[in-house]
Amino acid sequence: MPKAKTDAQPGANSTGSPAEDQDFLLRSLQEAHAADRRYKASKEELLKLYEQMLLIRRFEEKAGQLYGLGLIGGFCHLYIGQEAVAVGLQSALDGNKDSVITGYRDHGHMLAYGIDPKVIMAELTGRHSGISKGKGGSMHMFSVEHRFYGGHGIVGAQVSLGTGLAFAHKYREDGGVAMAYFGDGAANQGQVYESFNMAALWNLPIIFVIENNQYAMGTAVARSSAETHFYRRGTAFRIPGMQVDGMDVLEVRKAAEVALEHVRGGNGPVLMELNTYRYRGHSMSDPAKYRSREEVQGVRDKRDPIEHAKAELMEMGVDEAELKAIDKRVRADVAESADFAENSPEPDMSELYTDVLVERY
Amino acid sequence: MAIELKMPALSPTMEEGKLAKWLVKEGDEVSSGDILAEIETDKATMEFEAVDEGTIGKIVVPEGTENVKVGTVIAVLAGEGEDASTVAQSVSETPAPTPAPASSEPAKAKAEEAPAPARKDPEVPHGTNMKTSTVREALRDAMAEEMRRDERVFVMGEEVAEYQGAYKVTQGLLEEFGPKRVIDTPITEYGFAGIGTGAAMGGLRPVIEFMTFNFAMQAIDHIINSAAKTNYMSGGQMRCPVVFRGPNGAASRVGAQHSQNYGPWYANVPGLVVIAPYDASDAKGLLKAAIRSEDPVVFLENELIYGRSFELPELDDHVLPIGKARIMREGKDVTIVSYSIGVGLALEAAEQLAGEGIDAEVIDLRTLRPLDKQTILESLAKTNRLVVAEEGFPVCSIASEVIAICMEEGFDDLDAPVLRVCNEDVPLPYAANLEKAALIDTPRIVEAVKKVCYQG
């Protein structure tokens, strides 16, 4: 791979010193974002984003309920509170060429991609009609058709794998961009920085997305991270950063467009920090003793991404009845997915031995 | 419709719990997200949240109740437009639903699978020119031929391009294929193993070189968790056709951290193919097969045999079957099973034993996973005596596995206990005399063979 970003590039058309110029490049996306923060959505566009966020919220609530009933086992990480991140970012991607990869908190990203809630819920209940035939579970879902590459259970692994997806985009010259999501916890893993280094060195088309939901399992960011402004974490590798309000779907959308323009322009990776909040525990078995009920309720009351979009829609003249109709439709879809997931058979016993290897030797 | 609120399972292991405290009372309006109760699980006290909106119609299980089974109705919620006072009547005793029972026994299902076709090495046509090649050249030629054949194949690793390979295995590739397809990485094994694995998921055919497999321990998470398991976890949807290759096992006087055989480690993992060739012909034919495979392959070479020369058929496309052992020397008295550098020692031992009237058969496993049990068992049925020779630690080794196979499936054919000859069970020392003492050698194989032939 040719090295595109060298010292020769900055400073060529500038009176400033190279060091200052580099600082400017690192800040330039953040400045562009600050100058024009929010996407100007039409009523129809915002309605669509609202419905997608609502679908994730209701789906996850239902998943929590099914877990409580013993229909979902093992680990189950809910995305409630973070909906605007996946919905806002993925609404800006090109579904025909871009690729997405994330960690174990993956239900929301799949729903934001328009993957059928039925096959996701059936995977959660471990049934044959699940998207991984019931063999992956909540943390391990993939859709090659949608260029959704999982669904990975080892914290931080998806960052290197996503860099590999970006490598493949560049190698094939297909114009695609990889988006690799990870959390504030994963942001402290060593391989993240190995990947930053190579992505910048080889000018790969990737957007690193840190979903900062404030807690790595039970550890608050200030207790685990020396630099809590995660968007600055790419500075040592000359990766420009952006800090984005992840609770506002239109801000997320706009920021994604700024980042995508930069990456599609052949300028290499971008690091986005999306500040968000997880309402539920890290997983279903999290007693949440590391934060107060008031803290959670405060975010719900003041910053909820769905309520925010709803208020904006009403200002745009959408009436209560239309919103009720959406809510009803979403509830019906989720109820249908739960029925499907509950009534599908478990995988056939023969599936125990399939898919270990592709070929016969 | 009234909604029954059931005792939730709040951890993977919870079967029952204590309803510690109700935070709502009958008649309260609740909306989704409100905390209804505190429940003590086997792990901690947890909050139970409302999922639906409605009015609490009846609290069925009072607070303070212990040992409430998961799935028991603990309260009833009246939905929109319902009278909260009447729904209380409709409480049922339904326990938590259980999934539909599984269809059949696993063992039976496995038996239905058709056996894999018995694949033999392709015949080398009569009159084929044989040329002398080092293992190093054979490996390089395999990669070059596959890169010419398939645009998706690329080679990535430390010093593979401009330096021409730390052990010169990738010599000349940069000149022929350019920097897009022959890529020098920083010293960052975990990162580039992940990038290679991700690129394979993204549709390319990466050949990832580790300068030695000792360094791949930094990357083993991607080899096992990301590459080996994804096809299974995705229900066969997402393949990962990547080759991880590089020298493995002891070199010469490089100390404990640079001298380990990882064959048994990778052979332990379902979802991987593990190959460890000995001579140049197998190195070339099997590396080409590995690059073409749809599965992730760990390809273990050996530094000490890179420079050895062997006869190699000059064919346009020399590809050998994965998963098939090779009989290196036929014999009738005893079988010596080995792989990689151990094969050379086993052949030497067999020569020496022939001089003493013992006719040994030598099997090169070539592929460690899937292991060619059939060839081992057929040979055992013929010779009734078996020794495994392995350059590696003895505990939980490939030798252990071969011995288990002989016990489980070849017991009636055994005239003597199967013995293993491995390295000593210590980290490899640096001092020349200690290193020599720690490593497997021909005299030890000869001694073990005599023992199983009751001639020791």
* pLDDT for residue A19: 54
Q: Is B81 on the interface with A (CB under 8 A)?
A: no
A-interface mutation test, from B45, B77, B119, B232, most A Cβ less than 10 A away: B232
Per-residue pLDDT band at A9 (split at 50, 70, 90): very low
My answer on whether B305 and B336 are in the same domain is: no
Examine the domain organization and report whether B332 and B285 are in the same domain.
no
List pLDDT tens digits, range A217-260.
999 999 999 999 999 999 999 999 999 999 999 999 999 999 99
pLDDT tens digit sequence for A101-150: 999 999 999 999 999 999 999 999 999 999 999 999 999 999 999 999 99
Q: Summarize pLDDT for B408-434 with one digit per residue, the tens.
A: 999 999 999 999 999 999 999 999 999
Give residue B434's domain range. 326-452
Judgement on whether residues B134 and B258 belong to the same structural domain of the protein = yes
Side chain identity at B37, as an amino acid letter? A
Active site residue B258: yes
Based on the fold, state whether residues B14 and B35 are members of the same structural domain. Answer: yes
Judgement on whether residues B137 and B184 belong to the same structural domain of the protein = yes
Determine which of A278-292, A307-321, B242-256, B400-414 has the lowest per-residue pLDDT on average: A278-292
- In chain B, positions 14-73, which contact chain A (CB-CB < 8 Å)? 14, 32-33, 35, 41, 43-49, 51, 70-71
Predicted local confidence at residue A24, as pLDDT: 66
* Mean pLDDT of the region A294-303: 93
CB crowding A3-33: b at 16 or more within 10 Å, else e: eebeeeebeeeeeeeeeebbeebbeebbebb
CB B291 within 8 A of CB B243: yes
Mark yes or no for CB contact B191/A349 under 8 Å. no
Nearest to A346 among B99, B112, B323 (CB): B99
* Cβ contacts of A291 on chain B, cutoff 8 Å: none
CA B434/CA B275 separation, integer angstroms: 29
Same domain, B207 and B290: yes
Can you give the CATH number for the domain in which B58 is found?
Answer: 2.40.50.100
Closest chain A residue to B235 measured between Cα atoms? Answer: A132
User: How many angstroms separate the CA of residue B109 from the nearest CA in chain A?
Assistant: 5
Tell which of B249, B281, B313 closes a domain: B313
pLDDT at B85: 58
> What is the average pLDDT across B295-300?
98
Contact A133 B236 (CB under 8 A): yes
* Range in A97-111, B54-68, B381-395 the model is least confident about: B54-68
Which one of the listed residues B258, B348, B409, B424 is annotated catalytic? B258
At A189 the pLDDT is 96
Q: Which of B254, B289, B313 is the last residue of a domain?
A: B313
Which of B195, B222, B266, B373 to substitute to test the interface with A, most A CBs within 10 Å?
B195
Check whether residue B167 and residue B73 sit in a common domain: no
pLDDT of residue B217: 97
CB A123 within 8 A of CB A132: yes
Q: CB–CB of B51 and A62 under 8 A?
A: yes
Q: Sign of dihedral through CA atoms A164, A168, A169, A173?
A: positive
Picking from B238, B239, B292, B366 by the largest number of A CB atoms within 10 A of its own CB, the best residue to mutate is B238
Q: Is B384 left (phi over 0), alpha (psi -120 to 50) or beta?
A: left
Per the annotation, the verdict on B447 as an active-site residue is no
Regarding whether B330 and B308 lie in a shared domain, the answer is no
Among B263, B288, B313, the domain boundary falls at: B313
Q: Structure pTM?
A: 0.89
- Is the CB of residue A291 less than 8 Å from the CB of residue A218? no
Q: Is the pLDDT of residue B49 over 60?
A: yes
Condensed to tens digits (0 to 9), the pLDDT of residues B102-132 reads 444 444 444 445 556 557 899 899 999 999 9
Asked if residue B286 belongs to a domain, the reply is yes
**B269 and B339 belong to one structural domain:** no
Q: Which helix (H) or strand (E) holds A52?
A: helix A43-68
Residues B301 and B158 in one domain: yes
pLDDT of A49: 98
* Number of domains present in the structure of chain B: 3
Give the confidence band of B358 by pLDDT, cuts at 50, 70, 90.
Answer: very high
**What pLDDT, on a 0 to 100 scale, did the predictor assign at position B221?**
98
Partner-chain residue, chosen from A195, A342, A346, that has the shortest CB–CB distance to B97: A342
To the nearest 10 degrees (0 to 180), the angle between helices A249-264 and A18-35 is 140
Question: Does residue B47 lie in a domain region?
Answer: yes
Same domain, B211 and B294: yes
Q: Which of B12, B180, B193 sits opposite A285 (nearest CB)?
A: B12
pLDDT digits over A150-173, tens only? 999 999 999 999 999 999 999 999
pLDDT on residue A11: 38
Asked whether residue B332 falls in the same domain as residue B274, the answer is: no
Better-scored residue on pLDDT, B91 or B324: B324
CATH number at residue B394: 3.40.50.920
Q: Which of A238, A162, A242, A237 is nearest to A206 (CA)?
A: A162
User: Which domains are assigned to chain A?
Assistant: 39-340 (3.40.50.970)
